[in-house]
Amino acid sequence: MSVTPFYGPDFDFLTEQDPDIAEILLSELHRQQSDLQLIASENFTSTAVLAAMGSTLSNKYAEGYPGKRYYGGCEEVDKAEILAIERAKSLFGAEHANVQPHSGASANIAVYAAFTKPGDTVLAMSLPHGGHLTHGSKVNFSGKWFNVVSYGVRADNELIDYDELRDLAIKNKPKMICSGATAYPSLIDFEKVREICDEVGAIMWVDAAHFIGLVAGKAIPSPVPFADVVSFTTHKVLRGPRGGMILSKSDHAAAIDKAVFPGMQGGPIMSAIAGKAVALKECAQPAYQRYAESVIVNCQELAAALEKEGMRAVSGGTQTHLALIDIRSTNVNGKVADQRCGLAGIVLNKNAIPFDPESPAVTSGIRVGSAATTTQGMGKAEMREIASFIARAIATEDEAVLANIRQEVHALTARFPIYTK
Ligand SMILES: *Cc1c(COP(=O)(O)O)cnc(C)c1O
């Protein structure tokens, strides 16, 4: 069976059909190959995952669940979904898995729908301290429909303030407590969160979108034994297709499944589910475990090297794939640093640091991640080189100098090619 290629030079059929889109795909491939991808939520999936994503499974409607569909012709996609579910349960030691959520945000909507009613109180990490939009932002459904109370990090060590979390839980009696964030470089004490949930009778929800890949690679402790429900994306460190997933205790299986379909989605994206199955198989290999370990080692090296350049790693460093860097010592704000790095071919994002004196549109920090560069095969020496590129880029507004750095960046990435035949 041959698979339609959709990357690299072998897509003459697309070039003929739609040269405009073909050109964009090639340019984007080139951008991913040549610039440095340090966005902490991005990665390079395998070509096997891309093949599943670009397959005819995209054509199939399959509302419902394997064996209980509302459409005919689901024999083959049923097999794909069952494989994805079984692989997820086995990889994470979970009692139940729902592989249908279209994204991390969709998975989170389903979690709210399964366990809460509009108006209920939910305790979640504060956005300015690293929480996600779906953890109660006023512009998101979560903040509009729920009474979300936020906990944050301590000012002295920038780690989650579990005393505050417990006090807020006792005071507010939340239905559900969410742990997990998008810009928190440290590990979360799931055992402690479980104790607090038990003390107040709350559902323990872990939004593991960022770090689930490190759990899959057995590089950090798993929330699965502790949590009632764990939601996550499949496209960050996990290195799968764009999508979401939910794991839960079997007691909650029916509520989760009903919340996903028909609660908030129609038909699942079967090509993405096949891609999730492929990624989960990859994650179970020893090579992926070595990858997950290297991601953390690399990120620690990158954070340490940035500290040597005079910047400050929030919470003293990182235990994961991402680091939050306080760049106030450079006298350049996050917004300008992001722009200068971009001109130097270094793709990262500005990010608020805890208790940031700047507005969220400006910020005093940057967030860097090591998931993509580690997939490329880079190691500690390259992390040190990247730190020096970042420091030099932040320090100059001269576009010619930034263009020179970009040349050096491209020389580095050329040594670690991706998506080549
Ligand atoms: C990325 C992320 C999400 C959202 O995922 P999407 O697929 O972009 O909807 C949700 N929660 C956390 C903590 C995340 O980091």
- Tell whether 370 is covered by a domain: yes
- Tell whether 356 is covered by a domain: yes
Strand partners, 367: 324, 349
The alpha carbon of 271 and the centre of ligand 1 are apart by a number of angstroms equal to 20
The alpha carbon of 67 and the centre of ligand 1 are apart by a number of angstroms equal to 30
Cβ atoms of 325 and 311 within 8 Å: the answer is: yes
What pLDDT is recorded for position 9?
46
What pLDDT is recorded for position 168?
98
- Tell whether 419 is covered by a domain: no
The alpha carbon of 236 and the centre of ligand 1 are apart by a number of angstroms equal to 9
CATH number of the domain to which 403 belongs: 3.90.1150.10
Ligand 1 pocket test target in 233, 242, 324 with most atoms within 8 Å of CB: 233
Here the tokens at position 112 are 């709210």
Contacts of 141 (CB under 8 A, 6+ apart): 109, 112, 134
- Tell whether 38 is covered by a domain: no
Please return the burial class of 155, using the count of CB atoms within 10 Å of its CB with bins 0-12, 13-18 and 19+. exposed
Domain count, the chain: 2
What pLDDT is recorded for position 13?
79
Catalytic residue among 233, 320, 363, 374: 233
- Tell whether 40 is covered by a domain: no
Annotation marks residue 328 as catalytic: no
- Tell whether 76 is covered by a domain: yes
Annotation marks residue 86 as catalytic: no
Cβ of 210 less than 6 Å from ligand 1: yes
DSSP state letter for 6: -
Cβ of 320 less than 6 Å from ligand 1: no
Catalytic residue among 60, 87, 236, 392: 236
**85 and 231 housed in the same domain:** yes
**276 and 375 housed in the same domain:** no
What pLDDT is recorded for position 104?
98
Last residue of a domain, one of 283, 298, 321: 283
**395 and 259 housed in the same domain:** no
Catalytic residue among 154, 242, 258, 384: 242
Note down pLDDT in tens along the chain; length 421 residues. Answer: 333 444 544 567 788 889 999 899 889 999 999 999 999 999 999 999 999 999 999 999 999 999 999 999 999 999 999 999 999 999 999 999 999 999 999 999 999 999 999 999 999 999 999 999 999 999 999 999 999 999 999 999 999 999 999 999 999 999 999 999 999 999 999 999 999 999 999 999 999 999 999 999 999 999 999 999 999 999 999 999 999 999 999 999 999 999 999 999 999 999 999 999 999 999 999 999 999 999 999 999 999 999 999 999 999 999 999 999 999 999 999 999 999 999 999 999 999 999 999 999 999 999 999 999 999 999 999 999 999 999 999 999 999 999 999 999 999 999 999 998 6
Contacts of 162 (CB under 8 A, 6+ apart): 189, 192, 193, 196
Last residue of a domain, one of 221, 249, 283: 283
**158 and 85 housed in the same domain:** yes
What pLDDT is recorded for position 421?
66
Cβ atoms of 413 and 377 within 8 Å: the answer is: no
Domain ranges, residue 310: 290-414
Nearest ligand 1 atom to the CA of 181 is 13
**242 and 190 housed in the same domain:** yes
Nearest ligand 1 atom to the CA of 102 is 7
Cβ of 103 less than 6 Å from ligand 1: yes
Nearest ligand 1 atom to the CA of 210 is 15
CATH number of the domain to which 80 belongs: 3.40.640.10
Cβ of 140 less than 6 Å from ligand 1: no
Annotation marks residue 233 as catalytic: yes
Last residue of a domain, one of 250, 283, 316: 283
Report the predicted TM-score, pTM, of the whole model to 2 decimal places. 0.96
Strand ranges across the sheet with 203-207 = 96-98, 244-248, 229-233, 203-207, 176-179, 121-125, 147-151
What pLDDT is recorded for position 8?
46
What pLDDT is recorded for position 420?
85
Catalytic residue among 161, 207, 228, 309: 207
- Tell whether 74 is covered by a domain: yes
**306 and 275 housed in the same domain:** no
Annotation marks residue 47 as catalytic: no
Provide the 3-class DSSP secondary structure of residue 64: strand
Cβ of 233 less than 6 Å from ligand 1: yes
Nearest ligand 1 atom to the CA of 180 is 13
The alpha carbon of 233 and the centre of ligand 1 are apart by a number of angstroms equal to 6
Report the alpha-carbon distance of residue 142 to residue 62 in Å, rounded.
28
**90 and 130 housed in the same domain:** yes
Nearest ligand 1 atom to the CA of 41 is 1
Cβ of 116 less than 6 Å from ligand 1: no
**306 and 157 housed in the same domain:** no
Annotation marks residue 42 as catalytic: no
Give the residue among 105, 145, 102 at the shortest CA–CA distance from 261.
102
- Tell whether 34 is covered by a domain: no
**270 and 295 housed in the same domain:** no
Nearest ligand 1 atom to the CA of 236 is 1
**156 and 294 housed in the same domain:** no
Catalytic residue among 42, 61, 218, 419: 61
**104 and 202 housed in the same domain:** yes
Cβ of 207 less than 6 Å from ligand 1: yes
**241 and 387 housed in the same domain:** no
Cβ atoms of 5 and 53 within 8 Å: the answer is: no
What pLDDT is recorded for position 15?
84
Annotation marks residue 340 as catalytic: no
The alpha carbon of 310 and the centre of ligand 1 are apart by a number of angstroms equal to 31
Cβ of 132 less than 6 Å from ligand 1: yes
